[in-house]
Amino acid sequence: MLPKCYSLHRAIQIIHLSLGMHIDIISLVPELMQSAFAHSIMKRAQASKVVEVNLIHLREYASGKQKQLDDYAFGGGAGMVMMIEPIAACINDLKSKRNYDEIIYMSPDGELLNQKMCNQLSLMTNIIILCGHYKGVDERVREHFITREISIGDYVLSGGELAAAVLSDAVIRLLPGVLNDETSALSDSFQDNLLAPPVYTRPAMYQEWAVPEVLLSGHSANIDKWRHEQSLQRTQKRRPDLLK
Ligand code: SAH
């Protein structure tokens, strides 16, 4: 079952394939993300030039002898705040080289990330992702530079780096040419608001646990029907909210 918007989505993606996607991630600790981008699907996507990921150390934009990046919060209270100057210098420098579709701040009070947002972001050409640390960034950064704020869940992480890696992975795997079977991302959970059906591989019989017979039948219409029914049942049972 392909989502209704599939062909339009695909057409725009094909145009993007020739352009490639560019993601700049600004962070105090880019090392935290290196491994996430250096292996498996994310590595392959970069090697084949479908996406270019640029991890930027905010320290490069700090001024003064101290190279200060954070300071105490006005009004007092525990926790440091990331200063506006280095972030502004960094974003302005990036903007002088490219036009950005979105400048995203990872934040627990942002829009909750979902598959639809990942699909939308996968159609963009250039994005910046800003990772916060400590108590977060000076509010004026959010007011004047950020175009979108995204949370990966209702819990607080110590920094935006892992959240940025999660967001990037969810977007990059949708880019054409990244997954081996290009339609496989479309049969994953949450596309068309359904959870994915169960999957099996060899052996067909393990002890006395057999794989559902229909999957061994070779009858593709029956297999599609079974998978769709399983998806519906699973969604009804586990996430009825998706069906509303
Ligand atoms: N004081 C903030 C939390 C700061 S946590 C608050 O209470 O809202 C430090 C940084 O980690 C944030 O600036 C953000 O970039 C990142 N972060 C923490 N939790 C996150 C989440 N659920 N989703 C996305 N980013 C998150």
126 with 70, same domain: the answer is yes
Structure token digits, residue 60: 């490069």
Give domain status of residue 144, yes or no.
Answer: yes
141, 172, 203 - which closes a domain = 172
202 with 168, same domain: the answer is no
Pocket test for ligand 1, best of 25, 114, 157, 161 (most atoms within 8 A of CB): 157
Q: Determine whether the shortest distance from the Cβ of 152 to ligand 1 is under 6 A.
A: yes
Considering its fold, how many domains does the chain have in total?
Answer: 2
Q: Determine whether the shortest distance from the Cβ of 136 to ligand 1 is under 6 A.
A: yes
To the nearest whole percent, how much of the chain has pLDDT over 70?
91
Q: How far is the CA of 61 from the centre of ligand 1 (A)?
A: 22
The domain that contains 208 carries what CATH number? 1.10.1270.20
Atom in ligand 1 nearest the alpha carbon of residue 159: 11
151 with 224, same domain: the answer is no
For residue range 18-32, list pLDDT tens digits in order.
569 999 999 999 999
Pocket test for ligand 1, best of 83, 106, 148 (most atoms within 8 A of CB): 106
- Give the residue, by CA position, lying nearest to ligand 1 atom 8: 108
Q: Determine whether the shortest distance from the Cβ of 135 to ligand 1 is under 6 A.
A: yes
148 with 219, same domain: the answer is no
14 with 112, same domain: the answer is yes
Q: What is the pTM of this model?
A: 0.92
Mean pLDDT across 164-187: 88
167 with 224, same domain: the answer is no
For residue range 99-125, list pLDDT tens digits in order.
999 999 999 999 999 999 999 999 999
69 with 120, same domain: the answer is yes
Model confidence at 2: pLDDT above 80: no
Q: How confident is the model at residue 191 (pLDDT cuts 50, 70, 90)?
A: confident
Q: How confident is the model at residue 1 (pLDDT cuts 50, 70, 90)?
A: very low
- Kindly give, in sequence order, each residue whose CB lies less than 8 Å from that of residue 118, ignoring residues fewer than 6 positions away: 167, 170, 171, 174
Give domain status of residue 219, yes or no.
Answer: yes
pLDDT of residue 182: 56
Pocket test for ligand 1, best of 58, 70, 114, 156 (most atoms within 8 A of CB): 156
pLDDT of residue 184: 78
What's the domain range around 218?
Answer: 194-243
Q: How confident is the model at residue 222 (pLDDT cuts 50, 70, 90)?
A: very high
- Give the residue, by CA position, lying nearest to ligand 1 atom 26: 107
Structure token digits, residue 239: 């996430």
Quote the mean pLDDT of the chain: 93
Q: What is the DSSP string of 140-204?
A: HHHHHT-SEEEESSSS--SBSHHHHHHHHHHHHTTSTTTSSSTTGGGGSTTGGG-PPPP---S-S
157 with 36, same domain: the answer is yes
The domain that contains 134 carries what CATH number? 3.40.1280.10
Shortest CA distance to 190 belongs to which of 124, 126, 112?
Answer: 112
83 with 198, same domain: the answer is no
Over the Cα atoms of the chain, what is R_g?
21
For residue range 41-98, list pLDDT tens digits in order.
999 999 999 999 999 999 999 998 899 999 999 999 999 999 999 999 999 999 999 9
Model confidence at 10: pLDDT above 80: no
- Give the residue, by CA position, lying nearest to ligand 1 atom 12: 132
Q: Determine whether the shortest distance from the Cβ of 27 to ligand 1 is under 6 A.
A: no
- Give the residue, by CA position, lying nearest to ligand 1 atom 21: 108
Q: Determine whether the shortest distance from the Cβ of 109 to ligand 1 is under 6 A.
A: yes
Mean pLDDT across 174-193: 83
pLDDT of residue 102: 98
